[in-house]
Amino acid sequence: MRPTRHVFTLALAAGLAGFASQASAQQTIKIGELNSYKAQPAFLDPYKKGMDLALEEVNAKGGVLGKKLELISRDDGANPGEAVRVAEELVTREGVVMIAGTFLSHIGLAVTNFAGQKKVFFLAAEPLTDKITWQNGNKYTYRLRATTYMQTAMLMPAATAAKKKRWALVYPNFEYGQSAAENFKTLMKKAQPDVEFVTEQAPPLGKIDAGAVAQAIDDAKPDAIFNVLFGGDLAKFVREGNTRGVFKNRTVVSLLSGEPEYLDPLKDEAPVGWTVTGYPWDKIKTPAHQAFVAAYQKKFNDYPRLGSVVGYVTIKSIAAGIAKAKSTDTEKLVEAFKDLKVDSPFGPFIYRASDHQATMGAYVGKIALENGKGTMADFKYVDGASMLPSDAEVRKLRPTETN
């Protein structure tokens, strides 16, 4: 059995050799980024492209503080434990000055906690759970994307205007879906005390039994439906619901369904009339956005998805933050991000000092069909700042030692 140990030693030696090759003189500013690339490719593939575009633009203008930005991306295996390891790897082996990224809420939370513990600057790009900036927030973590609370709140005007009493809820059974459903129920009860929630369907993420779920909702005879499903679950649900007439004469209010990532696969079956948050990329005519789309299409010969915007703005935020801090020191970055103003394709926004949440908003509108494809009509941009609770309120939500 002696050779056994040989192999072990060899493996170890190979490992050591690998580590030896790290860190030479720093010519660049290294940004660490981690995400569930393999688990959520539909969103994250465009996201990666968005980051690449922003990186190219920043570096073409000479980078930041006279150095080029270098992005080191890793897959986090769609697993919080793995994500923490990857984060440590980025910090300790690659020597990155900060980390960014993550998609699924619970992974974002684990990395947030890691950042707080290890005093590493973390910009959460996409995870939506409110906890990242509120209950579990910390000094070192900022978040870009409009939260579950904000997006739900954006849909509230449409939900209350419909004046429907009986609501059915359908959401994926994990943090994001659960907290969206909770937010919706709380906000609805406040706005419309006589509201009744007739059924709640919580299928497992990625494993919806769409026919049965659609039927169960129909059987509960709701007047309106609040949907939080996305991705493959949404496609299955929409097809079954359409065939079974579940959406007929019912108001549907739905999170994220207007994002091209989730809307485009539905093609001509896009559920017309749903009020959604999303990204009508071909209809936003602001100069900032048109410049972004042109650059994106030129570089990738493809149209941007919402992921592209998130990836792009993540890098832009980082560049702006470092420039403002005039340093890559973590504490200085934390300070610099307070009320940091960033220009995005959606217009300028800031990172709030009070809860570290960006005020970048989202588009709210109704799904319509044009040329056999789903798109958004009657949409408008809702500024995130208008949806967020006041500084005093969020201070109560955050742990005391975070600011």
Partner 1 sequence: MTFSAFFFQALNGLSTASGLFFIAVGLSLIFGVSRIINIAHGSLYMLGTYIAYSFATYIGGALGFWGGIVATALIVGVIGALIEIVLLRRVYRAPELFQLLATFALVLVINDATLWIWGPEDLLGPRAPGLRGSIEVLGRQLPSYDLFLIVIGPLVLLVLHFSLARTRFGRLVRAATQDREMVSALGVNQAVLFTSVFALGAALAGFGGALQVAREPANLATDLVAIGDAFVVVVVGGMGSITGAYLAAVIIAEVKAVCIGIGVVDFGFMTVNFSKLTLVAEFLVMAVVLIVRPYGLLGRPQAFVRSIAEPEDPIRAAMPALKALGAVVLVVLLCLPLLAQTSPYLLILGIDVLIAVIFATSLHFIMGPGGMHSFGHAAYFGLGAYGAALLVKWLAVPMGIALLAAPLVAFGGALLFGWFAVRLSGVYLAMLTLAFAQIVWALVFQWEALTGGSNGVIGVWPPPPFDKAWVYYLLTLVLAVVGVLLLRRFLFAPFGYAMRAGRDSVLRAEAIGIDVKRVHWLGFAIAGCVCGIAGGLFAFAKGSISPETIHVSRSIDGLVMVLLGGIQTLTGPIVGASVFATLQDTVMRQTEYWRALLGLIILLLVLAFPQGIVGAFSSLWRKSGVKS
Q: List binders of partner 1 among 251-290 (CB under 8 A).
A: 261, 264-267, 269
Q: How far is the CB of 341 from partner 1 (least distance, A)?
A: 31
User: Helix, strand, or coil here: 399?
Assistant: coil
| Of 106 and 289, CB closest to partner 1 | 106
Q: Which residue from 70, 209, 335, 383 is in contact with partner 1, where contact means CB under 8 A?
A: 209
Is 57 a binding residue for partner 1 by CB under 8 A? The answer is no
What is the residue type of 229? L
Q: Give the span between the Cα atoms of 399 and 136, in whole angstroms.
A: 7
Is 39 a binding residue for partner 1 by CB under 8 A? The answer is yes
Backbone angles phi, psi at 67, to 5 degrees: -120, 155
Stretch that binds partner 1, among 51-59, 209-217, 283-291, 336-344 (CB under 8 A): 209-217
Q: Give the span between the Cα atoms of 299 and 301, in whole angstroms.
A: 6
| Of 101 and 384, CB closest to partner 1 | 101
Q: Which residue from 26, 28, 38, 165 is in contact with partner 1, where contact means CB under 8 A?
A: 38
Exposed / middle / buried, residue 70 (Cβ in 10 Å: 0-12, 13-18, 19+): middle
User: Helix, strand, or coil here: 400?
Assistant: helix
Q: What is the CA radius of gyration of the chain?
A: 22
User: Helix, strand, or coil here: 138?
Assistant: coil
Q: How far is the CB of 250 from partner 1 (least distance, A)?
A: 14
Site for partner 1 in 224-253 (CB under 8 A): 231-232, 235-236, 239-240, 243-245
Is 131 a binding residue for partner 1 by CB under 8 A? The answer is yes
Q: Which residue from 26, 119, 186, 204 is in contact with partner 1, where contact means CB under 8 A?
A: 204
Q: Which residue from 70, 88, 282, 329 is in contact with partner 1, where contact means CB under 8 A?
A: 88
- Helix ranges restricted to H, 61-193: 80-92, 105-118, 148-161, 175-191
| Of 219 and 331, CB closest to partner 1 | 219
| Of 42 and 153, CB closest to partner 1 | 42
| Of 202 and 295, CB closest to partner 1 | 202
| Of 102 and 136, CB closest to partner 1 | 136
Q: Which residue from 161, 212, 291, 294 is in contact with partner 1, where contact means CB under 8 A?
A: 212
Is 355 a binding residue for partner 1 by CB under 8 A? The answer is no
Per the document, the length of the chain is: 403
Stretch that binds partner 1, among 156-164, 199-207, 319-327, 388-396 (CB under 8 A): 199-207
Strand ranges, E, within 220-269: 224-227, 251-258
Give me 132's structure tokens: 């990242």
Is 92 a binding residue for partner 1 by CB under 8 A? The answer is yes
Q: Give the span between the Cα atoms of 151 and 30, in whole angstroms.
A: 32
Q: How far is the CB of 132 from partner 1 (least distance, A)?
A: 10
SS3 per residue for 306-364:
HHHHHHHHHHHHHHHHHHHHCCCCHHHHHHHHCCCEEEECCEEEEECCCCCEECCCEEE
Number of Cβ within a 10 Å radius of residue 57: 16
Q: How far is the CB of 171 from partner 1 (least distance, A)?
A: 10
Q: Are strands 98-101 and 122-124 parallel, antiparallel or unpaired?
A: parallel
| Of 189 and 207, CB closest to partner 1 | 207
Q: Which residue from 59, 160, 173, 403 is in contact with partner 1, where contact means CB under 8 A?
A: 173
